[in-house]
């Protein structure tokens, strides 16, 4: 089972768990996280073609509590975005567990095994079970994730490069929000009006022409212009969820990005408007109930956090390297080196 695999084909089933860490339980949790890969292999071994994937993300407050390694370059707490009418809320979250598979039983089994270990030391603040809805559609009836980049462009969009942050190359910043939809109100709109809200045709999933597409449509406000020739894209792995009895229906938004500023800029355009006040009309039918930012480190770090040097060790080495060398030791080193060279 791949752990910390950011890029994959759309899943048919998913479970999203957001946890907070109990006070004084950090050492226990840190130790359990190094065992996630082994737990995943044990579960996936039972269904080899189940495509089970687990991604663990860590929040900014939890990171220094769990690891001695420095904070990833762009990791911070998600800040509330309060628009004139709608708000992207910020809610607690120390850990994110994102499970994907062909079937829900695999996600459930691994979630259960993980929580058997983490349960005594954490609290679940959100649990959402997602499912594939026809041809990758959300419960609003539109295809979700159409604009995800592919190939090398997907790697560039979602995965931290060695140049950007050598300590955590291969990781990704992941922002999550749980959106609730009043489907009765949405379904009262005509299909043509729904298409104007989204910016795409409902059946064929074709983007509306610019002269027809409203500037406050979801597509228009999430399509960011390149900066210095670089595309600003993210990888969405959203899933619909719902319960019939309580009429609670929604979309779990999860966006992976090499730089969280890209995702946050999209949200600013949605909630504040671009220009200000021209907010995303989808928010009239989609309310964000959660919001948190995490960093999903590469699997090498998750399995063994000591692979990244701690801040204290790094500062000690800097101090040592900055101290003047003893002249006698320096000459001795040169002398030995010269003797070695003379015998070559």
If pLDDT is split at 50, 70 and 90, which confidence band does 76 have? very high
Q: Looking at per-residue confidence, does 329 or 137 come out higher?
A: 137
Rounded average pLDDT over 124-152: 97
If pLDDT is split at 50, 70 and 90, which confidence band does 312 have? low
Cβ–Cβ under 8 Å, residues 115 and 127: no
Give the SS3 label for residue 109. helix
Q: Which residue in 25, 26, 28, 174 sits closest to 100, CA to CA?
A: 174
Whether the model pTM is above 0.85:
yes
Phi, psi (5° rounding) for residue 32?
-65, -35
Q: Which residue in 36, 49, 74 sits closest to 175, CA to CA?
A: 74
Q: Residues 126, 144, 165, 237: which is the catalytic one?
A: 144
Provide the token pair at 72.
């990833």
Provide the token pair at 328.
């006698």
According to the model, what pLDDT value does residue 319 have?
53
Whether 144 is a known active-site residue: answer yes
Q: Which residue in 257, 294, 265, 219 sits closest to 81, CA to CA?
A: 265
Give the SS3 label for residue 254. strand
According to the model, what pLDDT value does residue 331 have?
33
According to the model, what pLDDT value does residue 1 have?
79
pLDDT in tens, 180-194: 999 999 999 999 999
pLDDT in tens, 189-246: 999 999 999 999 999 999 999 999 999 999 999 999 999 889 999 999 999 999 999 9
According to the model, what pLDDT value does residue 344 have?
35
pLDDT in tens, 262-303: 999 999 999 999 999 999 999 999 999 999 999 999 999 999
Sign of CA dihedral 29, 32, 36, 39: negative
Q: What percent of the chain has pLDDT over 70?
A: 90
Q: What does the radius of gyration of the chain's CA atoms come to, in whole angstroms?
A: 24
Cβ–Cβ under 8 Å, residues 217 and 147: no
According to the model, what pLDDT value does residue 258 have?
98
């Amino acid at each position: 089972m791949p752990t910390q695999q950011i890029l994959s084909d759309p899943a048919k089933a998913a479970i999203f768990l957001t946890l907070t860490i109990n006070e004084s339980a950090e050492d226990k949790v840190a130790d359990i996280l190094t065992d996630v890969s082994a737990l995943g292999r044990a579960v996936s071994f039972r269904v080899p073609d189940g495509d089970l994937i687990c991604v663990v993300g860590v929040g900014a407050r939890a990171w220094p509590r769990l690891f001695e390694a420095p904070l990833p370059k762009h990791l911070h707490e998600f800040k509330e975005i309060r628009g004139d009418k709608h708000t992207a809320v910020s809610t607690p979250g120390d850990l994110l567990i994102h499970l994907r598979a062909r079937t829900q039983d695999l996600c459930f089994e691994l979630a259960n095994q993980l929580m058997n270990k983490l349960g005594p030391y954490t609290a679940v603040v959100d649990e959402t079970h997602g499912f594939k809805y026809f041809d990758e559609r959300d419960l609003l009836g539109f295809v979700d994730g159409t604009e995800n980049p592919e190939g090398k462009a997907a790697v560039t969009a979602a995965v931290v490069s060695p140049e950007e942050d050598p300590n955590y190359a291969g990781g990704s910043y992941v922002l999550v929000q749980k959106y609730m939809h009043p489907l009765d109100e949405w379904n009262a709109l005509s299909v043509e009006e729904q298409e104007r809200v989204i910016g795409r045709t409902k059946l064929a999933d074709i983007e509306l022409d610019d002269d027809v597409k409203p500037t406050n449509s979801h597509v228009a406000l999430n399509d960011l212009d390149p900066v210095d020739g670089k595309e600003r894209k993210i990888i969405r792995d959203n899933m619909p969820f719902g319960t019939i009895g309580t009429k609670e229906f929604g979309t779990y938004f999860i966006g992976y990005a090499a730089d969280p500023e890209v995702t946050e800029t999209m949200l600013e355009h949605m909630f504040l408007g671009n220009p200000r006040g021209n907010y995303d009309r989808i928010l009239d039918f989609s309310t964000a109930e959660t919001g948190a930012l995490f960093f999903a480190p590469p699997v090498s770090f998750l399995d063994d956090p000591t692979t990244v040097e701690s801040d204290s060790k790094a500062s000690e080495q800097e101090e040592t390297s900055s101290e003047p060398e003893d002249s006698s030791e320096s000459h001795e080193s040169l002398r030995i080196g010269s003797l070695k060279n003379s015998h070559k």
